[in-house]
Structure 1
Amino acid sequence: MVIAISGTAWAFDGQPAQDPSIGPKDLSPTEALREGARQYYSGDKAGALNSLQYAAENGQSMAAWKLGEMYAKGDGVQEDDLKAFQYYSQIVRDHGEDRPSAPDAPFVASALVALGSYYLNGIDGSVPKNEARARQIFTHAASYFGDADAQYELGRIYQDNNSRMAIRWYNLAALKGHVGAQARLGETLYAHGNSEKKKARGLMWMTVAREQASGAEANWIHAMHEQYFAVSPEPVRELARNLADGWLRQNRPDVLTAQQVPSQ
Structure 2
Amino acid sequence: MRVSEILRSSFISAALAGCLAGGVEAAWAQDATITEKSGPWDVFKFGFSAYKSGHKDQAAQAYRDASEQGQIGATWKLARMYAEGDGVTQDDYEAYKFFSEIVSRDVEPGSSDERFVGDALAEMGRYVEEGIPGSPVQADPDAAFEYFQRAANYGSPIGQFEVGKMYLQRGESSPSKIRLAGRWLMLAAKNGHEGARAMLGNLLFQSGRVVDGLAMMTTALERAEPRDRPWIRSMQEEAFAVTEESTRRKAIARADELQDQQ
Question: Is the TM value for this pair above 0.5?
Answer: yes
Query: Where does residue 189 of structure 1 map in the other structure?
Result: 204
| Deviation larger for 176-185 or 220-229 | 220-229
Q: Distance in 2 between matches of 1:214 and 1:149?
A: 12
Residues 123, 220 of structure 1: alpha-carbon distance in 2 compared, 3 angstrom cutoff = closer
Do the aligned partners of 1:18 and 1:57 also contact (CA within 8 Å) in 2? no
Say whether 1:152 aligns with 2:161: yes
Percent pairwise identity: 36
1:29 maps onto 2:47 in alignment: no
Residue of structure 2 aligned with 1:131, choices 141, 153, 174: 141
Query: Which range is displaced more, 224-233 or 64-73?
Result: 224-233
Q: Which runs of 4+ in 1 moved over 6 A?
A: 17-20
Is the CA contact 1:159–1:188 (under 8 Å) kept in the aligned structure 2?
A: no
Indicate the structure with greater helix content: 2
Q: Which runs of 5+ in 2 are unaligned?
A: 7-33, 172-177
Letter of the aligned partner of 1:111 in structure 2? A
- Whether 1:164 and 2:179 are equivalent positions in the alignment is yes
Q: Which residue of 2 aligns with 1:59?
A: 70
- The 10-residue stretch of structure 1 (241-250 or 120-129) with the greater mean CA deviation from structure 2: 241-250
Given candidates 58, 81, 100, the residue that maps to 1:70 is: 81
1:246 CA drift (Å): 4.4
2:105 aligned with 1:90: no
Distance 1:185 1:109 in 2: 22
Distance 1:128 1:222, change over 3 A: closer
**1 CA distance for matches of 2:40 and 2:247?**
58
Aligned-CA RMSD value: 2.6
- Greater Rg, structure 1 or structure 2? 2
> Residue 257 of structure 1 aligns with which residue?
none
Distance 1:20 1:212, change over 3 A: closer
- 2:242 is aligned to 231
SS at match of 1:99: coil
Higher relative CO (Cα under 8 Å, sequence separation at least 6) belongs to 1
Contact 2:4 / 2:36 at 8 angstroms: preserved in 1?
no
- Counterparts of 1:190 and 1:222, CA distance in 2: 15
Q: Does the 8 Å contact 1:71/1:78 carry over to 2?
A: yes
TM-score by length of 2: 0.76
What is the deviation of 1:39? 1.1
Task: Please say if residues 167 and 189 of structure 1, whose CA atoms lie closer than 8 Å, have aligned partners that are also in contact.
Answer: no
> 1:146 is paired with a residue of what secondary structure?
coil
Structure 2 letter corresponding to 1:85: Y
Q: CA deviation at 1:47?
A: 0.9
Structure 1 unmatched runs, 5+: 1-16, 253-264
2:215 paired residue among 170, 181, 204: 204
Q: CA deviation at 1:50?
A: 1.4
Question: Does structure 1 conserve the Cα–Cα contact (< 8 Å) formed by 2:115 and 2:155?
Answer: no
- State the one-letter code of the partner of 1:190: F
